[in-house]
Structure formats: C-alpha cells, structure tokens
C-alpha cells in the first residue's frame, strides 16, 4: 500500500473510531476495515483492477427507471 494510502486509512480509522465510540457502537469500524480489505483485494488482482478502472466510453447505456421493463 502506498504511503498516502496508509495515511488515508489511518485518518479514516481515527475518524470512524471516534464516531463509533461516541455512538457506543463499534460496527462502523468493522465496516470500514471490510471496505478497505475489499479495495486491497481489487488492487491485488490485476485483471479485476483493469475491469473496474477501464474507461467506459459513452457510458454503459441508458438506465431504466425502477420498476419498468426494458
């Protein structure tokens, strides 16, 4: 992990931990660490990283409104 990534993780962890303690609920810390773990998994897999970071020229097409058929 790049140094700026570690700095960002620590900053987010401190902020989240402060809020979690104030709420007397540590679940937000577990969620944050899970999100960071998933991000690390993406960066560790070159094929997955390429898929998720490729340029989608023109977008992915129209998105139908919820509840409507395509």
Condensed to tens digits (0 to 9), the pLDDT of residues 11-60 reads 999 999 999 999 999 999 999 999 999 999 999 999 999 988 988 777 77
pTM over 0.85: no
How many Cα atoms are found within 13 Å in the side-chain-facing hemisphere of 54?
10
Nearest alpha carbon to residue 17 among 36, 5, 6, 31:
31
Residues in the chain: 70
Q: What residue segments make up the domains of the chain, in order of their start?
A: 17-53
The pLDDT value recorded for residue 5 is 86
Instruction: Spell out the SS3 assignment of 13-52.
Output: HHHHHHHHHHHCCCHHHHHHHHHHHHHHHHHHCHHHHHHH
- More confident: 65 or 60: 65
């Amino acid at each position: 992990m790049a140094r700026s990534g570690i700095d960002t993780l620590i900053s987010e962890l401190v902020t989240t931990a402060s809020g979690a303690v104030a709420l007397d609920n540590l679940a937000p810390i577990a969620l944050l660490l899970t999100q960071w773990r998933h991000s690390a998994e993406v960066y560790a897999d070159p094929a997955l990283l390429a898929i998720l970071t490729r340029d989608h020229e023109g977008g992915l097409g129209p998105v139908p409104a919820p509840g409507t058929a395509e």
